[in-house]
Amino acid sequence: MSGTVALPGDAYRLRDMNIIVPTTTLSNSPDTVEMLRHLVAFDTTSRHSNLALIGFIEAWLDRCGVPYRRSLNADGSKANLHAIIGPNRPGGLALSGHVDTVPVDGQDWTSDPFTLREADGKLYGRGACDMKGFVASMLAAVPDLQAMALDKPVHLFITFDEETDMAGARRLVEDLAESGLSPDLCVVGEPSLMQPIIAHKGRLAVKVSVRGQSGHSSEPHRGVNAVHAAAEAIAYMAAEARRLAKEGPFMDGFDPPHTTAHVGTASGGTILNIIPEAAEFVMEWRHIPGHDPYAEFARFRDFVSTTIEPAMQAVAPGTGFSYEIVGELPGMGLAEDHSLSSLVKQVTGANAAGFVSYGTEGGVFEKAGLACIVCGPGAIQQAHKPDEWIARSQLDACDGFIRALARRHEAGPA
């Protein structure tokens, strides 16, 4: 574990980026709303570095005497933090949240998205719901968790790039392997209205590029129309979406209860009287746990190679399709009777745990061997939009949840 270096004026210097982060405005005993106000003030849109915010959090952990470990992305512009409260050893329980956010560009906000505003019991600001609210609750809870004199470690995970490619979670998994300080259980605090979520779909996204042969549109037989070829493949995906909805496989609890197939973007061609020599589109499968998306991808490639490409290559041998995987997220599936599910249901008072169709870092952590569940404040419908907000009552519930979770986990089996 490593800390930062105190500088005059109660500031901390991020060694690798030479960024000064003042910390004098944070009170000695900040509550969750005060902490959230500071977190929201940092513009951590995924395209930006998060190091200034990480430096702020490190300063708070230093003040509390909590050890932590930083892991960086390839160019050193972004960092994860892994802090441990209690015994500095593997095992125990992790609380996990990301601090990157989606952009505000083009959104019609009624106030500054990076200044937390409260009105009618709602707290407005970019990331307030997704998911700086949970991170604020984690950080504000540190002194109370320390006061419990824990025999089992409570880990804090703070990650980057969840909103893009989950690179932060993947890097953190690597760092856990390097440090040997992996927990056994993990609660990912994505917005769920403080209800436990034990399963979510995975995702495979693929960019498809089509190479045709140009020519004059008056002589279509002398060229290979890349847009037509792409359209045939897109039509196949539309048919596959209908097949999956009709034939499954199915898993009750998801909405919809089956794997979905989708083409999200498509482009090609230049002007109408030229046979388009290039086209591309991006497609995805959001798959239920246990359904292999690569098998669906193989079906797609087989259709293309047997139905579309032969006619293309009969005209021009160099034409055809190529593929690039641009996104991959494992699904998450925790057994209803797992001890972590039982623990979170007991603490929240929920009678059952739910399923969601969106993905989280829980899938990455579960693939690495951590039992994961999703439970956090706010509703996903409040995130990513102008005037993103979270109810103060949800933060209050999360504050109680974190402390009760730690106490109950401490009292449970070793």
Q: For residue 81, what are the CA distances in angstroms to 16, 77, 156, 345?
A: 15, 14, 8, 27
Residues 228 and 320 in one domain: yes
Residue 300, in any domain of the structure? yes
Same domain flag for 222 and 123: no
Instruction: State mean pLDDT over 82-107.
Output: 97
In a domain, residue 232? The reply is: yes
Q: Could you tell me the two tokens for 360?
A: 């989280």
- β pairing state of 122-124 and 68-72: unpaired
Report the CATH number at residue 283.
Answer: 3.30.70.360
Q: Are residues 44 and 156 in the same domain?
A: yes
The answer to whether residue 414 scores a pLDDT higher than 90 is no
Is 377 a residue whose pLDDT tops 80?
yes
pLDDT at 4 over 50: no
DSSP class of 45? B
Say what the pLDDT of residue 15 is.
40
Q: Are strands 278-287 and 154-159 parallel, antiparallel or unpaired?
A: unpaired
Task: Please tell me whether residues 218 and 162 are part of one structural domain.
Answer: no
CA dihedral 86, 87, 91, 97 (to 10 degrees): 40
Indicate which residue of 100, 130, 163, 388 is catalytic.
100
Query: Which of these three, 307, 329, 351, is where a domain ends?
Result: 329
Domain boundary among 305, 329, 353: 329
Closest to 4 measured CA to CA, from 92, 64, 45, 48:
64
Token readout for 346 is 């007991």
Domain containing residue 288: 202-329
Query: Do 14 and 157 share a structural domain?
Result: yes
Q: Do residues 59 and 192 share a domain? A: yes
Residues 113-148 have pLDDT tens digits of: 999 999 999 999 999 999 999 999 999 999 999 999
d(CA 78, CA 44): 10
**Looking at the structure, do residues 346 and 309 belong to the same domain, yes or no?**
no
Per the domain annotation, does 100 fall within a domain? yes
Paired sense of beta strands 19-22 and 11-14, if any? antiparallel
Confirm whether 403 is domain-assigned. yes
Tokens in use for 255? Answer: 């909405």
pLDDT above 90 coverage of the chain, percent: 90
* Same domain assignment for residues 226 and 85: no
Instruction: Point out the catalytic residue in the list 43, 162, 361, 366.
Output: 162
Mean pLDDT of the chain: 93
CA–CA–CA angle 7, 135, 195 (5° rounding): 170
Question: What contacts 224, CB < 8 A, 6 or more positions away?
Answer: 212, 213, 275, 277, 312, 315, 316, 319
Q: What is the pLDDT of residue 5?
A: 32
Alpha helix (H) residue ranges in 324-361: 339-348
pLDDT category at 269 given cuts 50, 70, 90 is very high
pLDDT band at 28 (very low <50, low <70, confident <90, very high): confident
Go through the chain and tell me how many residues it has. Answer: 414
Q: 350 and 316, same structural domain?
A: no
* Residues paired with residue 22 on neighbouring β-strands, in sequence order: 11
Q: Are residues 148 and 55 in the same domain?
A: yes
The torsion angles phi and psi of 196, rounded to 5 degrees, stand at -70, 135
d(CA 159, CA 2): 17
pLDDT of residue 293: 96
Q: What per-residue confidence (pLDDT) applies to 357?
A: 83
Cβ pair 15, 55 in contact under 8 A? no
Query: Are residues 355 and 319 part of one domain?
Result: no
Where are any strands of DSSP class E within 73-170? 79-85, 93-98, 117-119, 122-124, 154-159
Residue 331: its pLDDT value, please? 93
pLDDT band at 362 (very low <50, low <70, confident <90, very high): very high
CA atoms within 13 A on the CB side of 234: 19
Q: Is residue 109 part of a domain?
A: yes
**Any domain includes 1:** no
112 and 252 belong to one structural domain: no
The answer to whether residue 162 is catalytic is: yes
For the chain, what is the domain count? 2
Phi/psi of residue 205, each to 5°?
Answer: -115, 135
Q: Are 214 and 120 in contact (CB under 8 A)?
A: no
In this prediction, residues 324-346 reach a mean pLDDT of 95
Distance CA 47, CA 33 (A): 26
Residue 22 backbone phi and psi in degrees, to 5:
-70, 145
3-state class (DSSP) for residue 274: strand
Q: At 389, which CATH number?
A: 3.40.630.10
- CA–CA distance, 245 with 258 (Å, rounded to integer): 6
User: Looking up tokens 């944070």, which residue turns up?
Assistant: 26
Query: Residues with Cβ < 8 Å from 153, sequence gap 6 or more?
Result: 84, 85, 86, 87, 88, 89, 90, 91, 92, 93, 183
Of 272, 295, 329, which marks where a domain is finished?
Answer: 329
State whether the Cα torsion 158-161-164-169 is positive or negative.
negative
Q: How far apart are CA 214 and CA 274, in angstroms?
A: 7
Closest listed residue to residue 200, CA positions, set 383, 378, 340, 366: 366
Whether residue 166 contacts residue 202, with contact meaning beta carbons closer than 8 Å, is answered with no
Taking the C-alpha atoms of residue 50 and residue 35, their distance in angstroms, rounded to an integer, is 16
pLDDT in tens, 349-361: 999 999 988 889 9
